[in-house]
Structure 1
C-alpha cells in the first residue's frame, strides 16, 4: 500500500478557485457562446463504492457542460471493467474528442487511454490517477491530504489515550486508496500511544465484504479495538454495523469520507466521529473546464503535478483541498448545497440537525 507517492506543487484551494474564476484565454464565458466543436465523453466507475458518482458527479458535470454549450456523453461502468472497455470503444467510435475517465483499476484504464491516444483523442483522469497511463491531465483532490484529514479526525476523536487502531482501506487496485492510507499513517504513526493492530484493503470497496473483514479483525483482537480508520463512509457504516452487534457503536470512533447522507447521519447519531468532505462541484467544474479547454485545442490550467511512478512521469494536475468534517462544521454541506436539508434532517434527525446548528 506504499506505491504511488504523490508529489505536487499545489497552490491553496483559494488559488485553485481563483484559477477557475479567471478562465482560459478564449474560453467560453459560460453562456454557451463560442461553444467548442466536438464531444466530451465521461466514464464514471460504479454505483456501489460511493453514491457520489450518480448523485453528485453526474448532475454537476451535466450542469458544467451545458453551461459551456458543449456536447457530452456521460456513462457509468457499473463496476465492470468489461463494460468500462465497451463504453470507451463506443465513445471512441462515436467520435468523442476528449475522454474523461475514472478508472476501476489502472490496467484497464491505461489500455483505454492508449487506444484513445492512438486515435488522437485526449484523456483526463478524473478523481483517480491511472498508474502507467497516458492521461494528458489529472483532476482530483489532494488524496494524501484526504488521508491526513482522516488521521487528524481519528486522532481528535481518540485524544491522547492509548489506543489500538484498525485500518480498513479501500480497494488495492485504486491508487487513491493507497494515498489515503499513506496520508492517514503520516498522522497516526507519529502518535506513540497509538498501536496498529489490524490493517486490510477491501476489494472493490465492497461494503458487504468490509463488514466481514472488520468482524474478523474484531474477533481476532477479542474486541480490543479503540478506533477504526475507515477509508470512506460506506466502509465506516459497515464497521458500525459490526460494532452495533457487539454493543460498541458510539464507543469506538470510526472515520469516513465523501460526506454521504448516511455518513452524516451517523455523525449526528454519534456512531461515526467524522468524514472527509470533498466539494464535488469544485472537482466537476474543474474537470469540465479542463475538458472544454482541451476540446478547443488549448492547454488546461493546472496548479500542480502528480507523480506516476509506474509511468515514470509527472502528470499535469488540478488538485483541490479536502475538508475534515464533524458535528462542529457539518452544516457546511447544507450551506454549499451538497446535501439537501430535507434529505439529511428527516424524521428523528430533525432535532439532531438543530442541535448541530443546521437551521
Structure 2
C-alpha cells in the first residue's frame, strides 16, 4: 500500500506558487525555445469512455485549457483507450515515437505500466501519473486522496442507513482490481464500515463496467435474498446506475446505493432519491495541477518544490498533488456541484427533475 507523507504546504497553495513561477518564466508562457514536438507537446492518455463520462467531458478539455493558459505555443496530443490496455500501450508507444517528452498517463491497468515508464525514461521522456498511480518510476502523481474518498463513501452509506446501520447487511461492488485507486477506495470504505454494520455479506469487483456490476448485483441478490440487503456500496456512478436498475428489476426498494464521480445522471438520481450520494472530485483543481506539472516538466523545472505531498511507490518517493473530495447528497447538490460550476441548474433540472430540484432548492 502506498503511504502518503503530508507537507505543510497545501495543494491549493502549491498550485498557486507553481502558476506564479510559470508566469515568471516569460510573458508568452513558453519559457523555453521550441526545437520540436518534445518542447511543445504534452501527451495525454485517458483510460475510458463508457464506464465514466468524466474523461471526455471534463478532464480532456480542462487539461487542454490549462496547458494552453500556461504555454501559448504548446499543444496536447490526446488519445482515449476506451478500457483497452493493449490500445493504450499502442497510444503510449506512438507518443514516444513522435518525440513527446512529457506524458500524462491515466492507465487502464496501473499494475503493468513499469516497462512503459522505463521505455519512456530511456528516450528522455517523463511520465506523470494522472488520477491513478501508474507503476514505475513516474515523475509525479496527481489525484485525489483516494483512501479518504473511500472513507467518505462508507460514512455516507452509514448516514443513509441511519439507526439501521448496526443491523444492516450490505453488499459491496468495488472497482477494477487493476486500478490502485480502487484498492484505496475499498480500504477506505472498509475503514468506515467495518464494525459499524452488522455484516458485509457480499463483496466483488464490478471491474468499472456497468454490465459486470449488474451481474454481480444479481449474484448478491441470489446469495443474500431479496430481504438480505440493506444497502449497497458501489465504487462509481456508472456501476451504481446498473446496480440501481438491477435492484428495481428484482423488486427491491428503499436500499441506499452510493457512487462516485458526480456524473450528471447520478446527481439527478440523488435528487429523485434513487441514489443516496456521490463523491464530487472537482475537476478543475486536478486538471490545473496536471497542466502545471506537465508544463513545469516541459520547461525542465523541478516539480518537487510545488508538490504538496510525497507518495511512496515501489521504493520511489513520487512528488504528488493530492486533493480533497466532497460528498454530495440531495441536501448538498445546490451548494456543491451547482455552486461549484460543475453543472448549471438548467442542466440538472430538466422537465423530468423539475419537481425534485424545487424540493432540494436547486435553481
TM band (smaller chain): over 0.9
Q: Secondary structure at the match of 1:183?
A: helix
Q: Secondary structure at the match of 1:85?
A: helix
Give yes or no for the alignment of 1:182 onto 2:187: yes
- Which position in structure 1 is the counterpart of 2:4? 7
Give yes or no for the alignment of 1:351 onto 2:319: no
* Cα distance in 2 for residues equivalent to 1:31 and 1:278: 32
CA shift, 1:345, in A, is: 1.0
- Which position in structure 1 is the counterpart of 2:233? 229
Q: Secondary structure at the match of 1:258?
A: coil
CA shift, 1:343, in A, is: 2.3
- Which position in structure 2 is the counterpart of 1:264? 267
* Cα distance in 2 for residues equivalent to 1:352 and 1:88: 45
- Which position in structure 2 is the counterpart of 1:289? 292
CA shift, 1:22, in A, is: 2.5
* Cα distance in 2 for residues equivalent to 1:317 and 1:168: 28
- Which position in structure 1 is the counterpart of 2:60? 58
Aligned 1:87-126 pairs, distance under 5 A: 87-126=91-130
- Which position in structure 1 is the counterpart of 2:42? 40
Give yes or no for the alignment of 1:253 onto 2:248: no
Aligned residue pairs total 348
Whether the 8 Å CA contact 2:42–2:76 is kept in 1: the answer is: yes
CA shift, 1:173, in A, is: 0.5
Q: Structure 1's 48 and 338: CA in aligned 2 closer, same or farther, altered over 3 A?
A: same
TM-score (norm 1): 0.92
Q: Secondary structure at the match of 2:332?
A: coil
* Cα distance in 1 for residues equivalent to 2:277 and 2:25: 36
In terms of fraction of residues, the more helix-rich structure is 2
Q: Structure 1's 20 and 265: CA in aligned 2 closer, same or farther, altered over 3 A?
A: same
TM-score (norm 2): 0.91
CA shift, 1:31, in A, is: 9.4
* Cα distance in 1 for residues equivalent to 2:3 and 2:27: 36
* Cα distance in 2 for residues equivalent to 1:339 and 1:31: 34
Aligned 1:189-204 pairs, distance under 5 A: 189-191=194-196, 193-203=197-207
CA shift, 1:106, in A, is: 2.3
* Cα distance in 1 for residues equivalent to 2:6 and 2:216: 37
* Cα distance in 1 for residues equivalent to 2:217 and 2:144: 27
CA shift, 1:82, in A, is: 1.7
Give yes or no for the alignment of 1:160 onto 2:163: yes
